[in-house]
Homo-oligomer: A and B are copies of this chain.
Amino acid sequence: MLSFTIATMAAAFVFFVLAQRNLAPKYRISMMVSALVVFIAGYHYFRIFNSFEGAYQLSQAGFSYEPTGKPLNDAYRYVDWLLTVPLLTVELVLVMDLPEGESGPLAAKLGFAAALMIALGYPGEMSESTALIGQRGLWGFLSTLPFIYVLYKLFAGLGDVLDRQSGEVATLLGNARLLLLLTWGWYPIVYMVPMFVSGYPSEAPGTLVTLQVGYTIADVAAKAGYGVLIYAIAKQKSVEEGYNVDTMVEPAATT
């Protein structure tokens, strides 16, 4: 699963770098940010992969992993999110192409809230106490507050931005927003799994695997899948602004 993700992120990186030239120049920056996100994620999955190889070894029969006694370093995941999750909000803002002067402040607010969300989640993840009314529950709750702020900004605050777009772009932007809601909303569900399992983490290795698999699925969808959706939006907007995306002829030259 971890190796699958390294391959996916690396392939997504190549795609986002190469796909830039099919877009109108002003939308290329959103693909650059997508490329940075999957690059950073790919790097961290490489680290998580190595940490996992050190912490578990395949049993002789080859059907199960046995702990070696060395701990799995989960900090890589949070460091990755600290860098990539704010960039995901920036991607969405960039592709919206807001009026002059609105993009910067909105991206800064959403990015800061996203970073705060990750930073607040980490102490709970590291905590041995998994009770709902305990360390994990408390930090998880605090982390949800900036998440709600991001959702509020994207759903309540951007209605008029969607109205200004063409039907097709509005649908795609709505989809990207929805994908963000679904994938980001998936993480807290995974985060809460240990609350229902006794003896986590030391006596419940299966739960640890559930967490790793759960977070990994979400990362692939929220980074690579989301980036492809951003590409679709950028391409559609390029077409609507008069670019021939097949020949990359500029609007001025076609008329």
Interface positions of A (Cβ within 8 A of B): 3-4, 6-8, 10-11, 14-15, 17-20, 22, 24-26, 29, 32, 35-36, 39-40, 43-44, 47, 58-63, 69-76, 79-80, 82-83, 126, 246-250
Contact = CB atoms under 8 A, between A and B. Distances in A.
B83 A40 contact: no
Q: What secondary structure prevails in chain A residues at the interface with B?
A: helix
Contact of A60 (B14, B29, B69, B72): B69
A40 to B, nearest CB: 5
22 contacts: A3-B44, A3-B75, A3-B76, A4-B79, A4-B83, A6-B43, A7-B83, A10-B40, A11-B83, A14-B32, A14-B36, A18-B20, A18-B32, A18-B35, A19-B32, A22-B29, A25-B247, A58-B71, A62-B72, A62-B73, A62-B74, A63-B126
B15 A36 contact: yes
A15 B3 contact: no
Given A11-B39, A71-B60, A18 B18 contact: no
A32 B4 CA distance: 20
Given A3-B79, A25-B246, A62-B74, 9 more contacts: A7-B43, A8-B83, A14-B32, A15-B32, A17-B18, A19-B32, A22-B29, A247-B250, A249-B250
Contacts of A20: 18
A80 B7 contact: yes
Nearest to A49: B47
A15 to B, nearest CB: 6
Contact of A10 (B15, B24, B43, B82): B43
B76 A26 contact: no
A14 B26 contact: no
